[in-house]
Amino acid sequence: MPTRAERRKIQREKERMAMALKKAAEETARKQQDSTVDRSVPSAEHSSLYAGLGRFGEHPITLAAFAVILGVVGLFLYTPILWACGGMFLIAFYRSKAVAGRPWGVQVLSYAVLISVIFPALYLINRLLERKEKESKAVASAADGQPSSRLM
C-alpha cells in the first residue's frame, strides 16, 4: 500500500497530466478554429486600397462583365481585344507567382520572354484576321458587281 506522501505525489501527477491534456485539447481546438476562418475576407488592418482593387479586378463578376464588353468590342475591332488578352496573360503569370521568390534577374528575364512570345503571336493573329477580313470584303464586292446567274 502506498504511503500518504506517495498518494499525494500520484494525485499531483494526475492533476498535472490532466491540466496538460486540457491545455493540449484547447490548443488543438483553437488551431482548428483558426484553420476554418474565412481568409478570403481580409481583416481591416491588412486591407489596403491596392489589395482591394486587386480583389475587385479578380472577382468573377467583374471578369465576366469585362469578358462581355471585350466580346462586343471584338465584333468590330480585333486589335484592342488582342492587346487586352496579352495583358491578361501577363496578369495571370504574375498572379500564378511562377517566379515569385526567384532572383530579380530571373523574374525580369521570365517576363521578357513571355512578352516576346505572346505579343508577336497576337500581332500575327491580328494580321491574319485583317487579311481574312479584306479577302471576304473583296469577295463580297466582286459578287455584288457581277450579275446573278439565276437571272440569265
Per the structure, the count of domains in the chain is: 2
Q: 95, 58 in Cβ contact below 8 A?
A: yes
What band does 150 get if pLDDT is binned at 50, 70 and 90? Answer: very low
Q: Tell me whether residue 71 is in a domain.
A: no
Read off the pLDDT of residues 8-59 as tens digits, 9 standing for 90 and up.
888 888 888 888 888 888 888 888 777 665 555 555 545 676 676 677 777 7
Indicate whether 9 belongs to any domain.
Answer: yes
Angle between helices 79-96 and 104-145 (to 10 degrees): 160
The answer to whether residue 51 is domain-embedded is no
What pLDDT sits at residue 43?
Answer: 53
Please identify which residue in the block is written with the cell numbers 446573278.
148
Helix (H, G, I), strand (E, B) or coil at 76: coil
Q: Is residue 55 part of a domain?
A: no
Cα 5 to its chain centre, rounded Å, is 66
CA–CA dist 69, 81 (Å, integer): 10
Domain that holds residue 20: 1-30
Do 24 and 81 have their domain in common?
Answer: no
